[in-house]
Structure 1
Amino acid sequence: MMKRDGTAGDGTALSGRRLERLDRRSFLVGSAAGLGALSLGGCVTQDGMSLAEAKKLYGPVDDKKFPIPATDPSKVDPQYWRRTVRYETKEAPGTIIVDPGNYYVYRIEGDGNATRYGANVGRDGFRWNGDAYVGRKSEWPTWTPPPEMIKRQPEAAKYARGMPGGLENPLGARTLHLYQNGRYTLYTIYASLDEESIGSGITSGCVGLLTQDMIDLYDQTPVKTKVVVLPA
């Protein structure tokens, strides 16, 4: 797949929040054939949760490989906290629907309901839409910057042979790799520790969820799950 400026072989990009630290705000790109998708809306069916309840939902995770710190939900607009919503669609239960125009990801639960997650999405010029599927799942995947990025940002050179999975890895704790027609698109749905990125268009086409939300989605999503990305 052709890579756009600032992307890795697996689609990841750097954007130095600090010189010595990888910033999770720049992410994956690819070139996928955009297929039309029906834009659908969701409305909240449960009362909004309190901050105290959100702190429990987004508390630390005792992951078997790396302990995951709590997310601070006070840094996220409450509309992007995970919740159950009414969502009418003809898609089968389990389908993932990405709504980049509203910064949401839905998992269809059936009976007119869906689990809704707040997300970060592609910035202007890097958004795409169409149907895909989960071709691969990764826990704490390795990330490798491309030569173009290393040339522009020499601090990335130390990861030329791959950055092992961990809390500083831009791909996060869990990743769903999106495929079309048997080929990896370079787009992913990934886990982000950057609370302030949720509800914004800052990636190079990929979709990020808060780590606790991504683990929730990942655990319920088998390989071959359909993913529909709506037009922005």
Structure 2
Amino acid sequence: MLTRRHFIATGAFSSILAAHPAFAQEAVEPAPSAEPADPLAPTQVTLAGAIPANQIHMDPNTFRLYFSVGGDQAIRYAVGVGRPGLYEPGAFFVGAKKEWPSWTPTPDMIEREPEKYKQYEDGMPGGPNNPLGARALYLFQPGRGDTYLRIHGTNSPRTIGTAVSNGCARLTNEYIVDLYDRVPLRSNVFLYTRTG
């Protein structure tokens, strides 16, 4: 069980306000020849400081998600994030993982955009047309349980690098599978505050 003491001890308690210093800038960018041909592809990077392994850190200001692999190394992913007013910063943990998850819009989503979501109020089975895509990591908080925030796939790559979702973070289906396979259950997740 993750406790307030755990978050304070790991620095997560203060990190909900501003990005961890190690992510303020990457210490060493990959050499130009090492950059992937696909700008959305995961890239191993060296950070400006050490981070414990198996943590997710997401900076909504740069549309980047980092999965720490130990020391000062991380895998960097391009993401889309929640639109203004729907993005929720904070410290979370991965409480569930699902392949080709089903999806049901929240009551708030239906209330905001009934013309778009009312038809799905009984849910949508998993599959290529499902908004959660190929995989989903479910974000929980101690004492709160499921927050209804997800890190999930999308079949709309044009939304990566934008703030358009209902609060969740999205990667292309190909790259959420890569992240999903790396992330253990109960991994800590830190979503940093938007500054712009």
TM-score tier (shorter) = 0.7 to 0.9
Give distance in 1, aligned partners of 2:86 and 2:113.
20
Residue 119 of structure 1 contacts residue 207 of structure 1 at CA under 8 Å; is this kept in 2?
Answer: yes
Residue 129 of structure 2 contacts residue 155 of structure 2 at CA under 8 Å; is this kept in 1?
Answer: no
Counterpart in the other structure of 2:188: 226
Residue 46 of structure 1 contacts residue 83 of structure 1 at CA under 8 Å; is this kept in 2?
Answer: no
State the Cα deviation string for residues 198-219 of structure 1 (Å, max 9, x = none): 1111112210011111111100
**Letter of the 2:140 counterpart:** Y
**Letter of the 1:218 counterpart:** Y
State the Cα deviation string for residues 38-68 of structure 1 (Å, max 9, x = none): 3522252243557xx64xxxxxxxxxxxxxx
Distance 1:159 1:211, change over 3 A: same
Percent identical among aligned pairs is 32
1:212 corresponds to 2:174: yes
Counterpart in the other structure of 1:36: 17
Equivalent runs, 1:35-114 vs 2, <5 Å: 35-37=16-18, 38-39=20-21, 40=23, 41-42=25-26, 43-48=28-33, 54=37, 73=38, 78=39, 80-114=40-74
Superposition TM-score, scaled by structure 1 size: 0.67
Counterpart in the other structure of 1:196: 158
Residue 50 of structure 2 contacts residue 73 of structure 2 at CA under 8 Å; is this kept in 1?
Answer: no
Counterpart in the other structure of 1:17: none
Counterpart in the other structure of 1:167: 128
Q: Deviation at 1:231?
A: 1.6
Q: Deviation at 1:161?
A: 2.4
Secondary structure of the residue aligned to 1:169 is coil
Give distance in 2, aligned partners of 1:151 and 1:35.
27
State the Cα deviation string for residues 168-210 of structure 1 (Å, max 9, x = none): 0001110000000151111110011111111111112210011
Secondary structure of the residue aligned to 1:196 is helix
Residue 105 of structure 1 contacts residue 117 of structure 1 at CA under 8 Å; is this kept in 2?
Answer: yes
- Structure 2 gap segments, 5+ residues each: 1-14
Give distance in 1, aligned partners of 2:148 and 2:47.
28
Secondary structure of the residue aligned to 2:147 is strand
Residue 64 of structure 2 contacts residue 78 of structure 2 at CA under 8 Å; is this kept in 1?
Answer: yes
Residue 81 of structure 2 contacts residue 168 of structure 2 at CA under 8 Å; is this kept in 1?
Answer: yes
Counterpart in the other structure of 2:138: 177
Distance 1:48 1:96, change over 3 A: farther
Residue 108 of structure 1 contacts residue 115 of structure 1 at CA under 8 Å; is this kept in 2?
Answer: yes
Give the alignment's Cα RMSD to 1 decimal.
Answer: 2.4
The count of residues paired between Structure 1 and Structure 2 equals 174
Distance 1:152 1:116, change over 3 A: closer
Counterpart in the other structure of 1:122: 82
State the Cα deviation string for residues 101-149 of structure 1 (Å, max 9, x = none): 1000001112311100000011122222221100000111111235662
Secondary structure of the residue aligned to 1:224 is coil
Question: Greater share of helix residues, 1 or 2?
Answer: 2
Q: 1:137 aligns with which of 97, 121, 126?
A: 97
Which ranges of 4 or more aligned residues in structure 1 deviate by more than 4 Å? 154-158
Counterpart in the other structure of 1:21: none
